[in-house]
Amino acid sequence: QVQLVESGGGLVKPGGSLRLSCEASGFTFNEFFMSWIRQAPGQGLEWISHITGSGKTRYYADSVKGRFTISRDNANNSVFLQMDSLRAEDTAIYYCARLYGPFDYWGQGARVTVSS
Amino acid sequence: IVLAQSPGTLSLSPGERATLSCRASQSVDGNSLAWYQHKPGQAPRLLLYGASSRATGIPDRFNGSGSGTDFTLTISRLEPEDIAVYYCQQFGSSPRTFGQGTKLEIK
């Protein structure tokens, strides 16, 4: 069965960096786009980035463009989110999701807190 | 595309029918509209896509309808396990956007 497991969350100071990882299993990884979606405390869901199966093309929400970088390692069935210049408003649970039209499978999420 | 969900909170009894609305600020391409169920502490789960097609393993109590700018999720014969926040999402235009969610409470 499809499984997505995020890791790398934690507490970071404003202006700092963090790298999230998502390990996938149960499907042919390089055939699917992969996404990151976040949920800030008390808020709804926000798509922030996705990457094509080959890794050649990446898309970002305006709220993170220039600060976050999505990448993938198809040999190890993993997708990453490098988050730089973090702000308090980036505090959220970050979900990895497989993109196949809708987001058809999701991980349990990684909590990121940006605070001094 | 901005998606507006109503009501914000819905409180119903077991066995009743829930009707959740999602209205788009412009027409959603090809009925590229999905519904998700999100329980606290769990991964969101895809319920419906293409406005009315159920995802794998989703019981037939969950039904979707609508087109253009108006979509509806209907949950019949409510069960206590249906407690969750339900989100609509459009994937026909970039950026992909979500509604703000409807919280379903069971009395």
Residue B66 touches partner A, C-beta closer than 8 Å: no
Predicted local confidence at residue B37, as pLDDT = 97
SS3 A76: helix
The residue with tokens 């206590």 is B80
Count of alpha carbons within 13 Å of A58, Cβ hemisphere only? 18
**A44 to B49: CB separation less than 8 angstroms, yes or no:** no
The residue with tokens 């396990």 is B81
Residue A42 touches partner B, C-beta closer than 8 Å: no
Cα separation, A7 vs A70, whole angstroms? 15
**B36 to A59: CB separation less than 8 angstroms, yes or no:** no
* Distance (Å) from the alpha carbon of A115 to chain B's nearest alpha carbon: 22
DSSP-derived letter for residue A77 is T
Predicted local confidence at residue A98, as pLDDT = 98
Report the first-to-last Cα separation within chain B, whole angstroms.
Answer: 34
Cα separation, A27 vs A32, whole angstroms? 9
pLDDT digits (tens, 9 = 90+) for A58-109: 999 999 999 999 999 999 999 999 999 999 999 999 999 999 999 999 999 9
**A108 to B42: CB separation less than 8 angstroms, yes or no:** yes
SS3 A116: coil
Question: For chain A, how many residues are written?
Answer: 116
Residue B87 has pLDDT above 80, yes or no: yes
pLDDT digits (tens, 9 = 90+) for B44-75: 999 999 878 999 999 999 999 999 999 999 99
The residue with tokens 């973090």 is A86
CB A28 within 8 A of CB A98: no
B95 cis-preceded (ω within 30 degrees of 0):
yes
**Backbone phi and psi for residue A75, each to the nearest 5 degrees, phi listed first:** -70, -25
Band (B30; pLDDT cuts 50, 70, 90):
confident
CB A4 within 8 A of CB A23: yes
